[in-house]
Structure 1
């Protein structure tokens, strides 16, 4: 990119899009959360320096290749207890092939390019890394559970962990996590008892009101009614009224009425039949089946053809 501001914005957006997946990938590949976070921070720092010299299309492949080649993730993968069983049972190579698909979300060609192998070789490695039953057949249920566990782990990465990784990336010392002190019981002693006594006093007053209420004298009533009633004034005369003589002009069947009055009504027109036809079409029943005129039409067409040849 020629624009430095646009290049920085694109790099920031890319890193934010892969950092959560990178956290889970490094953790599951290395078997330890702290080791994985250190590997991811170093990868983010190195990728930020190399990204301006790379085409944007090469960013995903280069990032995951750099993370997989981090020194902290080399060697035999760990078998931490917080990993899924299907991941913890794999060695480093098959585990990387599986996580590139499940956690990184790379396509087959991109994952093969990250590992530096051909697509058929990656496909074979992925098939061997997939969960299998005791009889050697594929286990789709375990595969589905593993995919769901990966997505849940990606969404559950806390913001504090991402902040720590960002500080490691920038070479800063993460802030130590201070335990929250337990609440002191002495601070409660000053207000607990007065509040308790106030609640008891209010409860007693409310209970006493329920006993004394029926014997209280009713409020004094005035001679005048509380609700004032006043007649409405007579309605005003309407500004205009509809002329009954003009009602015929707006009738929807004016044309039929005029045709009947003048004697120009079409003999083929039958309002009763038209009304029945509209109802029958709306209900889609009551209509007789169309006659089969195939044979008749065929005979008529044949006769016309013979007459034309003569």
Structure 2
């Protein structure tokens, strides 16, 4: 095909058409489903890489020949217990000849080309693989049952198995399926319903509490009030003092009077003296400072000299 898009679409359609048949063929030919899935995944990957260079008419022969040549399918299927008895009892060659017909659905010429033998030789191998009666003759009823069993097996391939094969084909690690214990559902059911009922009961109680009478704050005035308010009697503190005498209410009035009369102690606080000078300067001139003695003057002079 010259169109790459059309070639990819044709390859996808072909692989999708043979993957279910390939699952059953690999399983029944090798006798191991896990090994068969691995062989099919490898065949799908290799065929998708080499098919675009081959004519479309040769795709069926190439695909089934590559799958039949997978090393995972060379084992014996006689020990397998999940295969039809008519398949498990055959040798590898006759079993392949039979599966190419009933599972792969190939014509005699195509099946012979897959096995690399002539058409009469394939017909002889197929006759030897057919179910037979006790007298050695062919059993048509057993043949029809075997064909129906193959068709049912192809249709019954689960999608999860195909997904695993696709992941193997793409080189991905399939997700491990962990079996769920049978007791897990029962244990969850034991606590789920009680917990649900408890939540519903708590929700109903909380909703009913919003209309409950004791929680209401609407109470009659004067009865049952938690906070009582009383008005204080009127008072006019400013009326106790005369506005023309601002110093009459001063807490240091006695000290002010002692300073004015000359009875203030000599060891008074200098900071208080400074404040007192400023306070008295607002109403009356300050009295003359007391005269200092010569000793005091000399001491003051020495302090001024010693001061930096």
Q: TM-score range by the shorter chain?
A: 0.5 to 0.7
Q: TM-score, normalised on structure 2? A: 0.61
Q: Distance in 1 between matches of 2:69 and 2:77?
A: 13
Q: 1:104 to 1:184 in 2, by over 3 A?
A: same
Q: Distance in 1 between matches of 2:188 and 2:68?
A: 54
Q: Distance in 2 between matches of 1:194 and 1:156?
A: 41
User: 2:94·2:125 contact (CA, 8 Å) conserved in 1?
Assistant: yes
Q: Distance in 1 between matches of 2:140 and 2:33?
A: 28
Q: TM-score, normalised on structure 1? A: 0.60
Which runs of structure 2 are paired with 1:103-252 in the superposition (5 Å)? 103-181=103-181, 182-191=184-193
**1:162-187 Cα shifts (integer Å, max 9, x gaps):** 00001111111111012234214354
Q: Distance in 2 between matches of 1:14 and 1:186?
A: 46
Alpha-carbon offset, residue 74 of structure 1: 2.0
Partner secondary structure for residue 133 of structure 2:
coil
Alpha-carbon offset, residue 138 of structure 1: 0.6
**1:194-213 Cα shifts (integer Å, max 9, x gaps):** 98xxxxxxxxxxxxxxxxxx
User: 1:30·1:78 contact (CA, 8 Å) conserved in 2?
Assistant: no
**1:65-87 Cα shifts (integer Å, max 9, x gaps):** 00000111125445310000000
Larger CA Rg, structure 1 vs 2: 2
Q: Distance in 1 between matches of 2:187 and 2:169?
A: 42
- Counterpart of 2:48 in structure 1 is 48
Q: Distance in 2 between matches of 1:170 and 1:78?
A: 32
User: 1:27·1:33 contact (CA, 8 Å) conserved in 2?
Assistant: yes
- Counterpart of 1:71 in structure 2 is 71
User: 2:28·2:87 contact (CA, 8 Å) conserved in 1?
Assistant: yes
User: 1:29·1:96 contact (CA, 8 Å) conserved in 2?
Assistant: yes
Partner secondary structure for residue 153 of structure 2:
helix
Alpha-carbon offset, residue 141 of structure 1: 1.2
For structure 2, which runs of at least 5 residues remain unmatched after alignment?
A: 198-308
- Counterpart of 2:35 in structure 1 is 35
**1:35-93 Cα shifts (integer Å, max 9, x gaps):** 10011011101101110100000000000000000111125445310000000000000
* Greater mean deviation of Cα atoms: 51-60 or 177-186: 177-186
- Counterpart of 1:21 in structure 2 is 21
User: 2:31·2:76 contact (CA, 8 Å) conserved in 1?
Assistant: no
**1:195-247 Cα shifts (integer Å, max 9, x gaps):** 8xxxxxxxxxxxxxxxxxxxxxxxxxxxxxxxxxxxxxxxxxxxxxxxxxxxx
- Counterpart of 2:282 in structure 1 is none
* Greater mean deviation of Cα atoms: 35-44 or 71-80: 71-80
**1:133-157 Cα shifts (integer Å, max 9, x gaps):** 1110111111111101000000000
User: 1:97·1:111 contact (CA, 8 Å) conserved in 2?
Assistant: yes
Partner secondary structure for residue 15 of structure 2:
helix
Q: Distance in 2 between matches of 1:184 and 1:53?
A: 58
Alpha-carbon offset, residue 123 of structure 1: 0.3
Q: Distance in 1 between matches of 2:83 and 2:188?
A: 43
Partner secondary structure for residue 105 of structure 1:
coil
Q: 1:168 to 1:186 in 2, by over 3 A?
A: closer
Alpha-carbon offset, residue 33 of structure 1: 0.2
- Counterpart of 1:226 in structure 2 is none
Q: 1:120 to 1:189 in 2, by over 3 A?
A: same
Partner secondary structure for residue 185 of structure 2:
coil
Provide the aligned length of Structure 1 versus Structure 2: 195
Q: Distance in 2 between matches of 1:189 and 1:37?
A: 42
User: 1:79·1:89 contact (CA, 8 Å) conserved in 2?
Assistant: no
